[in-house]
Structure 1
Amino acid sequence: MHLPLPFPFPDVPGRAPLAASPRLPLPLPLAWPGLGPARGGPRGTAVIPAATMPALQILQSKQASRHEQRAKQMLSGISLNNEDLVKDKLLIDCGEDQDCVIDGIVALGKFDALHIGHRELAMYASKAGTPFLLSFVGIAEVLGWEYRPPIVAQCDRKRVLTSWAPYCKNVVPIEYQVEFSKVRYLTPRQFVERLSRDLKIQGVVAGENYRFGYRASGDAAELVKLCEEFGLSAFIVRSVMDTARSYNGVTTSVNSSDKGQVSSSRVRHALAMGDMEYVSELLGRKHRLVLTVKENHLQERKRIMLPKSCMLNMPPADGLYENCDLVNGGHLGLCRVIINSETIEIEMKDENSLLPNTIQENQQLGIEFG
């Protein structure tokens, strides 16, 4: 059976559109909470009517109750092998009880760019329950990678997630962070056990290329198997493909793991080329560069100049950018932006946009690139 996409991504005139991957054959009986019983499936499962099935291969766990599953785990002696790995709390920003995602559906990933592929994971999490993002942070520091500024400023992530609500049944996905150093040495089994035992979630959503566990030893198939063992649902989502990948020098592959899917690496590549139209397609929104105004900024009647050190996230390539928007909570006006090796210059279209004291020291400004 081939299933249609739940909705198409909008085409962009003059460019090959971004689209989810081709329609998927789904060889297994599909289950989804809240629908009628599936013919021939285990008791408690439900089948999605063909007209409303999403383009998603759902590999769902056995439908025994969570309490029964936990009892079976205790009787079978399933436990973590190394107690030193389970002393720390998993979620950085959740508190001692770690009860922030109880009974939720968590999407797993790094979520650096919050691009349309990440939005797809959140969308399917919202179909199964209360959606959360579980973001792994501190990977570069642990593995000794060279520092790279984030694609989305930390202070701007909540705004982006709020914009996803129309795709997530009018629910804003909430993001919680996991310090990579706390899970780096966990085996795939230990990691899933911690999700089940410590966070008490209902299920997970992950992309088809998701890897987890020590040295990325677990893949999507193992995630499904382990979730079944621990009484969790597992939803594996096919990648959103970038059909414009050969445009303007972005070749078929931007790194060794690139198979043509929308990725944070592609967003960085497009930003480095200064192709803001392409960046907007990958993100599903305009890229916002966030700056903190410092005392050494220069402000004139319609012009602001700041050092590059003010930037809180990745800028586009040096150059001139027309038809940008300057925001500071509200919309300040249209502007053109000049980025060079040391400074960023903002020139307003309207001479009255920057009245005296409009821009204050330590204030945050945002530039949205058209």
Structure 2
Amino acid sequence: MLSGGSSRLSNPQLGFGFVFGFGWRLGTRIRRSLKPLTARRMPIIHSKSPTDIPTLSHCFSQREDKRELPSEVLSSVAGGIVALGKFDALHIGHRELAIQASKVGPPFLLSFVGMAEVLGWEPRAPIVAKCDRKRVLSTWAPYCGNMAPAEFQIEFSSVRQLTPREFVEKLLKELGVCGVVAGENYRFGYKAAGDARELVKLCEEYGMGAYIIKSVMDKKPYNISINSDLKDRGQVSSTRVRRALGVGDMKYVCQLLGRRHRVILIAKEEEGFARRRHKVSVPKSCMLNLGPKEGVYGECNVLIGEEEELVVPCSVVIDTSYIHIEMDDIGEDLDLRVLRIEFGDLQS
């Protein structure tokens, strides 16, 4: 889904709301209720290619664009347009939010950190390594008016108890945000009390622009064991990316992400990873983010060195404990302390 919620976020009792999905009847009712708001800066559009998406200038009045920000606002997002969501996978649905935000002003992704600790979730590996997120966002610049979206994160504990109104006030008065973009199923506020309708209403009341877009739908003809997920209506989501990785369907992963999936490996020892002439074996404990299931993967590349100075075609074998990278002879003088594996073939 556009906001990237996982299946664990469906319980409205958890706190500050990221409950993005609904059963079919409720989802249908919400879509109908949004239609009268179209003239109030809440158009709902189908996701299209960047050149087909209509302009958003009518969604944000000239008065709002030029309003003065409070003098105490020091936020890096001040004056910007923020996309709201939980941006785990940075998939094509998240990219669509950034595209829409960029049509009005500098685009930002506004998300929350520390949710797992506050809500008592089991820790799990991220889909995108923390150190790789800026690179991924830089690849979105051609879609976003040559502006790479920037991330802005807020501690979840600082907003969990906020009502929908208090959250919008925080966006305006503390962060200096000029407008927001969200998916049609976005919910916010304590116990997920606010929905897309209320977001538009509150933003209008506070002189901010609000733009709601339809979910980017998954074009794959089958689901990956997610039919029991009541929030899933066929939209692209971080949950789908995780489950595609779980079955090792890397072509599908590439389609959901809009790029090849990159796994980053960092050696724990100064001398780097052990190597043979045509093979490097890396303990799974050196992975910074989620990789595919055990198996054999062809059509991969390994990027060697901190500056990615060498790109080598390879095949990858993953077993219970190690990732084995098989390639042509790479010599003995290369620095193997940092490796980046790119899986799948986006063109195939």
Q: Shorter-chain TM-score: what band? A: 0.7 to 0.9
Contact 2:81 2:180 in 1 (8 A): yes
Q: Return the structure number with greater relative CO, CA threshold 8 A, min gap 6.
A: 2
Contact 2:91 / 2:256 at 8 angstroms: preserved in 1? Answer: yes
**Residue 9 (structure 1) aligns with:** none
Q: Does 1:274 align with 2:253?
A: no
Shift of 1:297: 3.2
Amino acid at match of 1:253: N
2:309 corresponds to which residue? Answer: 330
What residue in structure 1 maps to residue 275 of structure 2? 299
- Whole-angstrom distance in 1 between the partners of 2:64 and 2:257: 39
AA matched with 1:302? H
Alignment of 1:343-362 (within 5 A): 343-348=322-327, 350-351=328-329, 354-360=330-336
Aligned to 1:204: 180
Shift of 1:26: 6.8
Task: Please identify the structure whose Cα radius of gyration is greater.
Answer: 1
1:103 aligned onto 2:79: yes
Question: Residue 288 in 1 paired to residue 267 in 2?
Answer: no
- Structure 2 counterparts to residues 201-280 of structure 1, below 5 A: 201-244=177-220, 246=222, 250-251=224-225, 253=227, 255-280=229-254
Across the aligned residues of Structure 1 and Structure 2, the Cα RMSD in angstroms comes to 2.9
Which structure 1 segments of 5+ residues have no match? 1-23, 33-51, 72-95
CA distance in 2: counterparts of 1:340 and 1:104, whole angstroms: 45
CA distance in 2, matches of 1:273, 1:346: 20
**What secondary structure sits across from 2:185 in the alignment?**
coil
Measure the CA separation in 1 of the matches of 2:57 and 2:112. Answer: 24
- Structure-1 separation of matches of 2:145 and 2:69: 31
Whether 1:177 aligns to 2:153 is yes
User: What does residue 285 of structure 2 align with?
Assistant: 309
TM-score normalised by L of structure 1? 0.74
Whether the aligned pair in 2 keeps the contact of 1:115 and 1:283 (CA below 8 Å) is yes
CA distance in 2, matches of 1:102, 1:70: 8
Deviation by residue 1:106-133 (Cα, 9 ceiling, x = unmatched):
0011100000000000000001111111
Number of residue pairs the alignment of both structures matches: 297
Match of 1:136 in 2: 112
Q: Residues 68 and 159 from structure 1, CA distance in 2 versus in 1: closer, same or farther, beyond 3 angstroms?
A: closer
Q: Distance in 1 between matches of 2:59 and 2:146?
A: 25
- Counterpart of 1:272, as a letter, is G
Cα 1:154–1:204, aligned 2, differ >3 Å: closer, same or farther?
same
Which moves more between the two structures, 329-338 or 309-318?
329-338
Work out the percentage of aligned pairs sharing the same amino acid.
54
Distance across 1 between alignment mates of 2:105 and 2:67 = 21
**Equivalence map 1:54-65=2 (5 Å):** 54=53, 60=59, 64-65=63-64
Structure 1 residue runs of 4+, over 2 Å off? 24-32, 52-71, 96-99, 251-256, 294-297
CA spacing shift, 1:323–1:53, aligned 2, 3 Å: closer
Distance between the aligned counterparts of 2:197 and 2:79, measured in 1?
A: 22
Question: What residue is the counterpart of 2:165 in the other structure?
Answer: 189
TM-score, normalised relative to structure 2:
0.78
* Structure 2 unpaired stretches of 5+: 1-31, 43-50
Does the Cα contact within 8 Å between 1:57 and 1:237 map onto a contact in 2? no
